[in-house]
């Protein structure tokens, strides 16, 4: 969605996207996900490692290592089978996955990885601000380029609506390849003018060996953490600047970085960006850990959203728990029914959603679905004292995902999005612990309380819900 730097920026971008959605793209559509689409046996699942496709024996050995993490082996095997049956990118073994909570930890890890680069740095981001954080990354990119490391930067035209073009010029002058995704100016387009299709991804790939994926843009709004013990109840000022942003990123070292690399280069080429040259984009990558990871990208140009299919399939097959944290929650009927169906069969379904947002329209559209979900047995919590921008999930403690994808129509139909799916009991434990921390500073919305909300709030929800498919 849109950064909260100024209200005028948010509304300008929102009105532009609404207009373009109406004039150019219609309402879009989502695929029907059939619960039994994963009828493949575990033996048919193809896994990759640093040296290519694993043999059946190697794949079984990989799964055996995961089973030793004291997980319910039936649950693990089931989710591996489900994930392996969804068409798209392969399951890749031999990765080390590091959970990064909030901006400071993420930027520190990114900086360390970039400074250690030898061949190339590829960044794809929705927002890149002309502020302290943006300038720090710009200076770092220029320094690395001068050292002979090729830096390729792709940013979204709407996301960087308020970033002056002059901000990028020093990088361009230093040799950094800079590409604006789907320019708003029709005279600058390199293919069909598809203004409604936006690049919402947040991806960094270094030397083809390390990848960062999540919800964190390049902006100073992420400069502080969201769990400070000194902060009591800070209030938003008129510019929405005081409250910290709560977000999540993941660093992945290992062979799956090459799958994220493919997604970056594919987008760059479809946008007809400058020649990337030969900078060892696909090196041989040794195993760095033991985690199974799947890189998933989606685009409005695809037949359907693989990320959407993956989410629905994992929810359909949940047996014990579904814990979702999401910034912009405007679910379509199929997703709502999947969550309610899980709750009816006894699955503990919990959602952590924002209590305030950089888009009031999205906030009220999201709340328009609370009544239906609460009546269906879904528990809803709103994160307090921080602006929630995180997009994470952990299901049955073994299936986790972190990425840029919101649970809304825009992410599934119109946007370029990117997610990592991690099949690991130990990593699932970390994500669950993070979820619990957010839960501790969230307020539960009960059905009884919700039914007592003022008529003015109901009217705002109704009005916002009209635009649900375009937000």
Q: Which long-range contacts (CB under 8 A, 24 or more apart) does 372-375 make?
A: 372/336, 372/340, 373/336, 373/339, 373/340, 374/445, 374/446, 374/447, 374/450, 375/447
Give the Cα separation of 198 and 416 in Å (integer).
6
Which residue of the set 5, 120, 391, 460 is catalytic? 391
Give me the catalytic one of 396, 408, 438, 460. Answer: 396
Is residue 209 part of the annotated active site? The answer reads no
Among residues 38, 207, 247, 438, the one annotated as catalytic is 207
Q: Which one of 5, 79, 202, 317 is the catalytic residue?
A: 202
Known catalytic residue: 40? Answer: no
The answer to whether the Cα torsion of 343, 349, 353, 359 is positive or negative is negative
Task: Say which residues have a Cβ less than 8 Å from residue 323's Cβ, sequence separation at least 6.
Answer: 348, 350, 352, 393, 394, 395, 431, 432, 435
The yes-or-no answer on residue 5 being catalytic is no
Residue showing tokens 């929405």: 240
Best CA proximity match to 271, nearest among 182, 379, 351: 182
Q: What's the token pair of residue 76?
A: 């693990």
Distance CA 358, CA 38 (A): 38
396 assigned to active site: yes
- 77 catalytic, yes or no? no
Structure tokens at 208: 């083809």
Active-site residue (options: 48, 317, 389, 460): 389
Q: How far apart are CA 397 and CA 47, in angstroms?
A: 21
* Catalytic annotation, pick one of 200, 209, 317, 460: 200
Tell me, yes or no, if 389 is annotated catalytic: yes
Hey, what's the torsion of the CAs at 405, 407, 413, 417, to 10 degrees?
A: 0
* CA distances to 84, 239, 312, 334 from 338, in Å: 20, 38, 7, 6
The catalytic residue positions are 200, 202, 207, 389, 391, 396
């Amino acid at each position: 969605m849109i950064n909260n730097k100024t209200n005028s920026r948010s509304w300008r971008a929102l009105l532009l996207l609404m207009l373009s959605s109406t004039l150019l793209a219609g309402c879009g559509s989502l695929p029907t996900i059939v619960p039994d689409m994963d009828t493949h046996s575990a033996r048919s699942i193809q896994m990759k490692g640093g040296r290519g496709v694993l043999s059946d024996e190697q794949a079984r050995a990989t799964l055996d290592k995961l089973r030793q993490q004291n997980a319910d082996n039936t649950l693990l095997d089931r989710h591996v089978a489900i994930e392996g049956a969804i068409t798209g990118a392969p399951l890749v073994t031999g990765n080390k996955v590091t959970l990064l909570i909030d901006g400071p930890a993420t930027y520190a890890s990114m900086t360390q990885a970039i400074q250690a680069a030898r061949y190339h740095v590829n960044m794809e981001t929705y927002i890149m601000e002309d502020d302290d954080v943006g300038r720090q990354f710009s200076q770092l990119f220029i320094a690395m380029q001068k050292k002979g490391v090729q830096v390729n930067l792709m940013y979204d035209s709407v996301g960087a609506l308020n970033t002056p073009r002059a901000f990028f010029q020093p990088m361009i002058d230093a040799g950094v390849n800079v590409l604006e995704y789907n320019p708003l100016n029709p005279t600058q387009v390199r293919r069909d003018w598809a203004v409604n299709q936006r690049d919402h991804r947040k991806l960094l790939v270094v030397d083809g060996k390390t990848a960062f994926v999540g919800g964190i843009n390049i902006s100073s709004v992420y400069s502080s953490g969201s769990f400070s013990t000194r902060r009591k109840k800070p209030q938003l000022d008129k510019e929405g600047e005081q409250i910290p942003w709560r977000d999540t990123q993941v660093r992945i070292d290992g062979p799956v970085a090459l799958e994220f690399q493919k997604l970056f280069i594919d987008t760059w080429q479809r946008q007809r960006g400058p020649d990337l040259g030969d900078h060892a984009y696909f090196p041989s990558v040794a195993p760095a850990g033991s985690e199974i990871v799947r890189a998933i990208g989606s685009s409005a140009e695809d037949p359907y959203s693989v990320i959407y299919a993956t989410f629905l399939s994992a929810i359909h097959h949940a047996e014990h728990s579904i814990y979702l944290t999401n910034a912009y929650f405007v679910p379509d009927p199929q997703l709502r029914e999947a969550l309610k169906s899980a709750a009816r069969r006894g699955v503990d379904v919990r959602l952590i959603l924002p209590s305030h947002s950089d888009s009031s329209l999205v906030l009220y559209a999201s709340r328009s679905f609370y009544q239906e979900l609460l009546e269906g047995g879904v528990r809803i919590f709103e994160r307090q004292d921080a602006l929630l921008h995180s997009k994470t999930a952990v299901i049955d403690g073994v299936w986790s995902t972190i990425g840029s994808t919101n649970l809304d129509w825009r992410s599934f139909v119109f946007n370029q999005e990117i997610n990592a799916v991690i099949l690991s009991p130990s990593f699932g434990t970390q994500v669950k612990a993070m979820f619990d921390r957010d839960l501790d500073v969230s307020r539960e919305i009960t059905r009884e309380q919700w039914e007592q909300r003022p008529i003015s709030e109901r009217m705002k929800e109704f009005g916002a819900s009209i635009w649900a498919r375009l937000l």
